[in-house]
Each structure stands twice: as structure tokens, then as C-alpha cells.
Structure 1
């Protein structure tokens, strides 16, 4: 697993009892970015191909600061690629994994087979991007509806 950790700089990856745990490694809020979503796609592809991995535990969330930086630069092709390609691929990658996927929820839990929600109160589940005017891609939004 040490080689894998070097390969995915935005993820902390561990394997215990045949469960691959994928945690974001992006301090301060561990939010999704272009690099993280790309790493997630590769990590789930790896989990699907390795026989001794029997399941995946994912911990995630979307980074509004990363999205804001892209919008401030006003480079439309970069924004479009991130919103309509990268986020959509990152959100659907658990659907394509051949192993069961569980998610520890402290944000979105798109396309996971099992979801564990904490006991802290108050607790809300929402699409926070909409509150600050960030466009939300169709594919992840459709996944949330189901």
C-alpha cells in the first residue's frame, strides 16, 4: 500500500480486513478538487481490479473553495471541464466499482451502497453549492435524487 499512497497524493489509503479505506488528504476541510476526483477514479479502479479487496470505505465532500478559484479566473473551458466532467466522473465512480462501497457521511454520499451518518446534532444534508451560486452538474444531482 505504500506505493499506492505515493501514487495518490490527495488520498490517504489503507487496507484492513480486505476493506480499502479511502480518505481525503486535503487539509483544511478535506474537500474534493480536480486532483482529488482524478485520484478517486484511479483508486476505485484499483479496488475493482484487486481480488483480495472485498469492499471500499469512502470519506468525502466537495470543496467550494476549489470551485470558487476556478470561477474567479473566469476561464470557461476549465470551469466546464471541472463541473461537467471531473465532478460527474468523481461522483459516479463508486457506481462503477465492482466491490460494495460504504461512505462515512459528513457531506455528500453519492452512489454508495451503504451510508453511515454521525450522531452530532444538528445534522443537515443538502447541496450547499446551490446556496452560493455554484452550478451543480446533472449526473451527480440525478444520483442524489435516487
Structure 2
């Protein structure tokens, strides 16, 4: 589900999970493991296979699995996002297509976010589910326009994403990976211990909020995600997508 390749000391992690790289328990469990495998790499690039970076959470799995699945899935989502966000080496997201909901979070969590097409946005509230603490705090750190993105659940195009700082640079598809590797090598030229400490210092307020809020916020989030009312809302939401 996550293909790992080496490019002259830069690790490339490619999400390869169905047509839209939907996030489910298995791929989210695999991401921290993949990051641990490439701990010695000079930098890490995360991208998607196919036409999407990631279309976000696999909502069908949530509907079918109910509360039991949610109780495993949400901690895995938070653990994966946090591991990627706090990875001590330079990280670059090569967003090769749509990046929605959790896919948007993974794209924004990188040190540098490049995008070559598609739409991006935080669609959670449109699907009737709240944010767990970790993804929300990552987005608060990554983009000043997070309130609008969260509360409107809108998706935006590449030009607007760059204009609000959600994406650092627009890149034509043919040059996405070469540009990502260029950024990764440039960041990796900084001594690793200096880079890691600087990144930790910058992220410290977000990490402190996560540590303070997660225990008190996440139980309520889990309850809502796993409720029968949410499952009904998600089912109708997915039917509405099929009608468009």
C-alpha cells in the first residue's frame, strides 16, 4: 500500500491503495512503519500513485465497520498524521492530484507542499464528522486560512491553494517529482541535527496543544464518528456524491 524507493539518499513514499488512495486503517497503520524504515534517509517525499494524492478517509469502511472500526481507525489516523508531521528529516509532499480531507492534512503536514493539479480541501464537516485534535492542530500550524477551510468544507483549486499558503508551489505534472527531489536535497543540505531541532522548535506550540487537548477532545470525536446518526449521514453523503 505504500511503496518505498530510494533516490540518491532521498526516500520516496508512494501511496498505492486503490483508485484514489483512500485512507483506511491498514494504510494509516503502515505509514509510521514506512517512515521508521527510512529514518536514515536524508529527506522524505510523499506522493500518490494514479490520479489522486489521496481522496481522504475511506468512508465506506467507516459505514460498514461502525463504532468498532472507528475506535481503531481514528487513533491510527492521528498517529500517522503526527508521525509524518513531526518526522525529523526534511519532508516534501508531491501532491499529484486531488487531496481531500485526510489527504489534505497529509499534504499540508509536510515541510514543503508542491501540487500539480486537482483540488484540495478539508471536507470533513461536509461529510458530517468533526476533526480529531491531531489533524486539526496540524492544519492550524500549516495554514492561516484553516478556519475557512474547516467550516466551509469547500474544495479549492491549485491557484487559490497557493494564494492562501496551503500549497507552497504549483508545478506542472511532468516536473512534480524532479521539483520535489530538488527541494528535498536543498533542505537536506542543512546539518540533520540543526534541521531537526529547528523543526521541533517551530512545531512546539502545535505539539503542546495536541498533548493538552487530545485526551479531552478525542473521546467525543470518536463517539460522534461511530454513532448511528453519523453512519446514516455518511451514507447519504456518499449517495449524494454518486448523484453528481
TM-score, length-scaled by structure 1: 0.77
Give the Å deviation of 1:14: 0.8
Of the three residues 9, 12, 18, the one matched with 2:9 is: 18
The alignment of Structure 1 onto Structure 2 pairs a total of residues equal to 128
**2:45 corresponding residue in structure 1:** 57
Gaps of 5+ in 2: 48-52, 142-244
Alignment of 1:24-103 (within 5 A): 24-48=15-39, 50=40, 53-59=41-47, 60-61=53-54, 63-64=56-57, 66-74=58-66, 76-83=67-74, 85-103=75-93
Conservation of the 8 A alpha-carbon contact between 2:45 and 2:94: yes
Gaps of 5+ in 1: 1-9
Conservation of the 8 A alpha-carbon contact between 1:32 and 1:63: yes
Conservation of the 8 A alpha-carbon contact between 1:88 and 1:137: yes
Off by >3 Å, runs of 4+ in structure 1: none
**2:111 corresponding residue in structure 1:** 113
Change (3 A) 1:55 1:95: same
TM-score, length-scaled by structure 2: 0.48
Conservation of the 8 A alpha-carbon contact between 2:124 and 2:131: yes
State the secondary structure of the residue aligned to 1:30: coil
Give the Å deviation of 1:72: 3.4
Aligned Cα root-mean-square deviation (Å): 1.9
State the secondary structure of the residue aligned to 1:128: coil
Change (3 A) 1:140 1:125: same
Larger radius of gyration: 2
Structure having the higher helix fraction is 2
